[in-house]
């Protein structure tokens, strides 16, 4: 049996969350697949130059082969994936594995896909193209899928809600970006020696940054500090700026929008923040919470989505729809140094539950079970 792996998400010039997941899982999983001898051959689909850069260990192996598929167009990607898998199926039995939700509808192929979240079904207005995929194409993929891997139990539950006829679903947690453990922090000069709360990745309204700004305005009635937003989508950031101009213009200088920051700067932001304010209405996993814990940053988390599952007892939980609850968390973190220290210590313990070696091992066990079932 041939193992055919979808790595087309790595075609993107800058890795997003799905790309980071794919690179970390495949860098470990492909070695195992090549060495165990279970598969006659292992082929990875994607842009050859990107795979040679990001998965160098695989391309240097004498049994590793890259199937060229360099497109960045999401529709073209689906067409090409189906074509590659169909062609491979004619040569013999195929196990197709996708570390993302991008699957195929080819008959006679054993398929395993990974679903990280169902944002597109929960918030269709924010993900118009993906909504079409999740609403109309994914159900067809699921009828051709042996096993679905999800990155959290919360996502598995959401999947059951929208796709009651789904195949077997196995939650396997992802882990934190490996480069956070070794990257050198880079100071953000405008925040040096300043007290601030941090939010990472304001993208859409469900990230709940409007309520966070309201909570910060209440906090500033009796406290001092800044609210810092790192990253985010331009349209949503402009919406937040208009809210500030309308509701709390006196705080313009103290609500800071940094835009995209390099990894070293993000590490520094985590290290020096009073806390990460992860008060979103929904998360499929919540990777910034683990990044903050790695950088000794206390985490304030919403008691919603996958955040309770991912943070365990290592976060200060708030009701994300209650501004007063968020304000209280900011006041408490600001005033209680011992609480911050306890959260940091618990964060270090919580991190031990997540590592890429464990993730890759458990994913490979799913692939191995599917392959052996077909061989028998």
Please check the confidence at residue 354 and state whether its pLDDT lies above 80: yes
Q: Is 255 helix (H, G, I), strand (E, B) or coil?
A: strand
- Indicate if 243 and 370 belong to the same structural domain: no
Phi, psi of 5 (to 5 degrees): -115, 130
- pLDDT at residue 64 in the model: 82
- Indicate if 168 and 227 belong to the same structural domain: no
- Indicate if 227 and 313 belong to the same structural domain: yes
Please check the confidence at residue 93 and state whether its pLDDT lies above 80: yes
CATH value at residue 54: 3.40.50.2000
Phi, psi of 96 (to 5 degrees): -100, 125
Mean pLDDT, range 93-119, rounded to an integer = 97
- pLDDT at residue 54 in the model: 94
- Indicate if 189 and 148 belong to the same structural domain: no
DSSP one-letter string for 42-60: EEEEE-HHHHHHH-HHHHT
pLDDT band at 56 (very low <50, low <70, confident <90, very high): confident
Phi, psi of 97 (to 5 degrees): -120, 130
- Indicate if 335 and 203 belong to the same structural domain: yes
pLDDT band at 352 (very low <50, low <70, confident <90, very high): very high
H or E stretch including 1? none
Please check the confidence at residue 79 and state whether its pLDDT lies above 90: yes
Q: Average model confidence (pLDDT) for the chain?
A: 95
- pLDDT at residue 57 in the model: 82
DSSP one-letter string for 196-243: EEEEE---SGGG-HHHHHHHHHHHTTT---EEEEES--HHHHHHHHHH
Q: Say if residues 237 and 207 touch (Cβ distance below 8 Å).
A: no
- Indicate if 171 and 183 belong to the same structural domain: no
Virtual CA dihedral for 213, 119, 18, 82, nearest 10 degrees?
A: -160
- pLDDT at residue 285 in the model: 94
Query: Residues 275, 280, 286, 288: is their CA dihedral positive or negative?
Result: negative
DSSP 185: P
- Indicate if 325 and 370 belong to the same structural domain: no
- Indicate if 249 and 169 belong to the same structural domain: no
- Indicate if 339 and 310 belong to the same structural domain: yes
Please check the confidence at residue 167 and state whether its pLDDT lies above 80: yes
Percent of residues, the chain, with pLDDT higher than 70: 100
Closest among 80, 68, 117, 109 to 92, alpha carbons compared: 109
Q: Say if residues 180 and 314 touch (Cβ distance below 8 Å).
A: no
Q: Lowest-confidence range among 29-43, 108-122, 333-347?
A: 29-43
Phi, psi of 265 (to 5 degrees): -70, -40
- Indicate if 128 and 85 belong to the same structural domain: yes
CA distance 289 to 277: 9
CA distance 310 to 147: 23
> Within its chain, how far is the Cα of 57 from the centroid?
24
Q: What distance separates the 2 farthest-apart alpha carbons in the chain? A: 70
- Indicate if 166 and 187 belong to the same structural domain: no
| Per-residue model confidence as pLDDT tens digits over 214-227 | 999 999 999 899 99
pLDDT band at 213 (very low <50, low <70, confident <90, very high): very high
Q: Say if residues 289 and 304 touch (Cβ distance below 8 Å).
A: no
- Indicate if 282 and 312 belong to the same structural domain: yes
CA distance 323 to 243: 15
- pLDDT at residue 180 in the model: 80
| Per-residue model confidence as pLDDT tens digits over 262-280 | 999 999 999 999 999 999 9
Q: How many CB atoms sit inside 10 A of residue 376's CB?
A: 5
Token pair 């970390």: residue: 24
DSSP 184: P
Q: Which domain covers residue 193, as residue numbers?
A: 179-351
Please check the confidence at residue 341 and state whether its pLDDT lies above 80: yes
pLDDT band at 375 (very low <50, low <70, confident <90, very high): confident
Residues in the chain: 376
pLDDT band at 59 (very low <50, low <70, confident <90, very high): confident
Percent of residues, the chain, with pLDDT higher than 90: 93
* pTM of the model as a whole: 0.92
- pLDDT at residue 211 in the model: 98
Please check the confidence at residue 9 and state whether its pLDDT lies above 80: yes
> Within its chain, how far is the Cα of 187 from the centroid?
25
Total structural domains within the chain: 2
């Amino acid at each position: 049996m041939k193992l055919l792996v979808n790595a087309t998400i790595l075609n993107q010039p800058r890795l997003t969350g799905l790309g980071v997941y794919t690179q970390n899982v495949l860098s470990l999983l492909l070695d195992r697949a090549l060495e165990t001898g279970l598969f006659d051959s292992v082929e990875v689909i994607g842009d050859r130059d990107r795979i040679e850069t990001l998965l160098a260990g695989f391309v240097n192996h004498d049994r590793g082969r890259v199937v060229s598929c360099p497109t960045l167009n999401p529709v073209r990607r689906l067409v090409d994936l189906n074509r590659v898998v169909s062609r491979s199926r004619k040569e013999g039995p195929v196990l197709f594995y996708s570390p993302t939700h991008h699957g195929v509808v080819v008959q006679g192929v054993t398929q395993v896909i990974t679903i990280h979240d169902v944002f597109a079904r929960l918030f269709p207005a924010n993900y118009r193209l993906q909504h079409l995929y999740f609403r109309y194409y994914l159900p067809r993929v699921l009828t051709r899928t042996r096993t679905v891997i999800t990155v959290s139990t919360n996502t598995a539950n959401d999947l059951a809600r929208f796709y009651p006829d789904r195949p077997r679903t196995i939650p396997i947690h992802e882990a934190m970006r490996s480069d956070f453990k070794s990257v050198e922090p880079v100071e953000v000069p405008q925040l040096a020696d300043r007290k601030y709360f941090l939010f990472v990745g304001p993208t859409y309204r469900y990230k709940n940054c409007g309520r966070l700004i309201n909570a910060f305005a209440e906090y500033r009635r009796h406290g001092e500090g800044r609210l810092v937003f790192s990253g985010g989508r331009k349209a949503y950031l402009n919406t937040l700026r208009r809210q500030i101009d309308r509701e709390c213009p006196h705080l313009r200088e103290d609500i800071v929008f940094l835009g995209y920051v390099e990894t070293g700067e993000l590490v520094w932001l985590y290290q020096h923040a009073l806390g990460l304010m992860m008060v979103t209405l929904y998360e499929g996993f919540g990777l910034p919470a683990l990044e903050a814990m790695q950088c000794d940053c206390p985490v304030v988390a919403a008691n919603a989505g996958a955040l309770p599952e991912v943070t365990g007892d290592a976060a200060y939980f708030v009701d994300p729809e209650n501004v007063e609850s968020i304000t209280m968390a900011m006041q408490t973190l600001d005033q209680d140094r011992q609480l911050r220290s306890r959260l940091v210590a618990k964060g270090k313990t919580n991190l031990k539950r997540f590592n890429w070696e464990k993730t890759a091992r458990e994913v490979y066990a799913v692939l191995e079970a599917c392959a052996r079932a077909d061989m028998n």
